[in-house]
Structure 1
């Protein structure tokens, strides 16, 4: 993998909204954002000017929330800061995962869809893996594990810059932890992504040391450290 292959990961939100996820977003000029029931992520160019921030404000509306993800640019001073979270971007460095897909099928991994959204929203609310809304599942494939008919773990695909697919919403209900569900789901998604000729990547908060350790055991490597920031439009 060359450094050029990974350059799109410097702006995964913008790259997704310009490409694979264009139909799930809105755009004015050089500013873009996802539909509000899909995701709250927004994007401006790496060198935004006052017009770009004004366009994003028009998209989001007065008092709207702008989740700038890993965007290093700062909005105008009258935009109210909402949160700052340090994290890292991790990538699968190369190679494939033979035999993982078959093992996952035998282990009861199921594909989730629109009918599963109420359970997915409930699980996300209880485990807080990150932003998850009523149409987030439309961003890509979401997989789950059920126990006695109840959804106890899930993970799915979120941002899709060219050649890459982000693994996200990795979560397990408290009563089902310690059984390897997260590792199984991440491995299964990685297998599917690699089989399409794409590479998996993910984001994780620095404070979530258990998740960082898990992803490192699964073979992911840290590409860069990022700062996630949210702002309120004045």
Structure 2
């Protein structure tokens, strides 16, 4: 399931790509999924509503028209185009905290952690709909490995992998059903996935809203460090 604990030595070059996570992932780890036109690439909508641009100065007019349907919207992280064509609305959200982890974490005792599969899809979609209703799509689970804790026949908490490059992996969809808050499930899952990624030689990282103070404190306490605040935008195409 999750890999055995190991210590990996990291160097600054391993963080390459973290400043432009969607684009970097679509050029490497998820290149086979990328819908791309020139310097613009996106995930298929059934996987994720994410779009990346190679750099802020990229010419995006024709690419956006080809990749984003009328009345649809996508999300950008790290880099947004300096200029968008008429009929498009680029809205800036509050920056997210980007946090990597370079050392193994303490795994607290708790219930069994299982790897989630297609057989658990409906439970996963139901749980993420409570916490991440705009980000988790029907095929998001195919972007990486996902793990969960079941209690009383219900999916109580989960975590997964999403973005990444050859040297990095993003811990994502870290959530607990409100009925099971306060039991340390998110901490247990985060530590186990983090240690498994380190054992594989990958640099784990995650993104968290600064308004989510509880989660931010948890990640800081267990060993994640603040790397930078990273820009986050919505880009919508009018009809």
For normalisation by structure 1, the TM-score amounts to 0.90
How far the C-alpha of 1:124 sits from its partner, in A, is 0.9
CA distance in 2, matches of 1:13, 1:57: 19
Runs (4+) of structure 1 exceeding 4 A deviation are none
Task: Identify the residue that residue 54 of structure 1 maps to in structure 2.
Answer: 62
Distance 1:75 1:137, change over 3 A: farther
Task: Identify the residue that residue 218 of structure 1 maps to in structure 2.
Answer: 222
Task: Identify the residue that residue 69 of structure 1 maps to in structure 2.
Answer: 77
Q: Which has the higher helix share?
A: 1
- Cα-Cα RMSD: 1.9
How far the C-alpha of 1:63 sits from its partner, in A, is 2.5
The question of whether the paired residues in 1 share the 8 Å contact of 2:176 and 2:186 is answered with yes
Task: Identify the residue that residue 80 of structure 1 maps to in structure 2.
Answer: 89
How far the C-alpha of 1:77 sits from its partner, in A, is 5.5
The question of whether the paired residues in 1 share the 8 Å contact of 2:131 and 2:175 is answered with yes
CA distance in 2, matches of 1:228, 1:130: 14
1:201 pairs with 180, 184, 205, which one? 205
Structure 1 unpaired stretches of 5+: none
How far the C-alpha of 1:162 sits from its partner, in A, is 2.5
Residue 10 (str. 1) matches residue 14 (str. 2): no
The question of whether the paired residues in 2 share the 8 Å contact of 1:110 and 1:145 is answered with yes
Matches within 5 A, 1:183-194: 183-194=187-198
Distance 1:53 1:77, change over 3 A: closer
Matches within 5 A, 1:167-182: 167-182=171-186
Structure 2 unpaired stretches of 5+: 1-9
